[in-house]
Amino acid sequence: MNFGLGEANELAHAMLARIGRDHGIRTLSIKGLVADRYGLRRPRVAADADVIVDPARFDEFCRLLHDYGWHLRVEREVPSLLGPHSVTLIRDDWPNDIDAHVRFPGFFADDQTVFERLWSTRSTMEVAHCEVTVPSRAASAVIAALHAVRYTKSVRHAGELERVAELLIDDFSDAEREEFLDVACVGRAQWVLRELFDLVGRPHEMDATPRQMQLWETNRATVEDGAAVSWLSTLRSAPLHRKPAVLARAVWISREEIPRNDVNRLPTVREAWAHRMLRWRRGGVALWHYARWRR
């Protein structure tokens, strides 16, 4: 019998918390359901359950999820301007995904430092009649802001950033506001969240390197266009003798590598070509957008 995304996400958060607790691995449920409960965004059903895991035991946690029947979708690793930050796991009889994060984009401090800061002011929520550990409201607001600011070309995310800004000014206590700023400082996210620092009248440090700033802005400008710009960036930075191989890898995708949920079902030749054509069309559009943005 089917169960819905909302139900699945609640159960998944409870399950993730339980797996972590049983094995002594620290986890914090983040984003969707947690942001909704804290009133950090207008409630909507998320497609996945997000959890950030103690980086020191991230691989072990992912192996445990595998034991619980959650597996990676078949897809090849594609480059990302901001680097990999999570793995997406699926289970064939569940409608949602699990996004297990080792880091959260926008924090430029090292992963362990960020996790320890989030953990130090953790709280709990009752989800699916179970106790789930979550970051505090202020720390969750930092995560919500980092997520929203990454996609501010989208109306929905721009609205979510505005919502965090409103709460920061009108609803947060002084202590919560200070905690928000401290999480951003420790996580080296001041520059990324500089608009919010300005809003509360606090100076911000340039706590990202010029290269990190450039990658962040390029990612923000092209995030809706998928991986094409990341491939281009990888191609540019590759040594000359590696460029042909990188180019071939960027353009061509084998049947075995075509993304799919079912590991055992290879796409037909026709399906594979349809996927490639779609990918090339998307890539062309993305590179055209990128060229316009660069101008």
Q: Which stretch binds another protein (CB under 8 A): 5-13, 142-150, 168-176, 179-187?
A: 5-13
Q: What is the helix (H) or strand (E) element at residue 285, kind and residue range?
A: helix 269-294
Nearer to another protein, 18 or 243 (CB): 18
Would you count residue 1 as binding another protein (CB under 8 A)?
Answer: yes
Would you count residue 18 as binding another protein (CB under 8 A)?
Answer: yes
Would you count residue 99 as binding another protein (CB under 8 A)?
Answer: no
Residue whose C-alpha is closest to residue 237's, from 211, 210, 208, 276: 211
The length of the chain is 295
Q: Rounded distance, CA 217 to CA 230, Å?
A: 13
The residue from 39, 44, 47, 69 that contacts another protein (CB under 8 A) is 69
The residue from 125, 130, 165, 247 that contacts another protein (CB under 8 A) is 130
Would you count residue 181 as binding another protein (CB under 8 A)?
Answer: no
The residue from 10, 48, 54, 179 that contacts another protein (CB under 8 A) is 10
Would you count residue 14 as binding another protein (CB under 8 A)?
Answer: yes
Neighbours of 60 (CB within 10 A): 12
- DSSP type of residue 168: I
Q: How far is the CB of 26 from another protein (least distance, A)?
A: 18
Strands 86-90 and 97-101: antiparallel
Q: Which stretch binds another protein (CB under 8 A): 42-50, 128-136, 158-166, 172-180?
A: 128-136
Q: Which stretch binds another protein (CB under 8 A): 8-16, 107-115, 230-238, 264-272?
A: 8-16
Q: Which residues contact 200 (CB under 8 A, 6 or more apart)?
A: 168, 169, 177, 181
Would you count residue 129 as binding another protein (CB under 8 A)?
Answer: yes
Q: Which residues contact 37 (CB under 8 A, 6 or more apart)?
A: 125
Whole-angstrom CA distances from 43 to 34, 94, 163, 176 are 10, 21, 12, 22
**Binding interface with another protein (CB under 8 A):** 1-3, 6-8, 10-11, 14-15, 18, 67-69, 93-94, 127-130
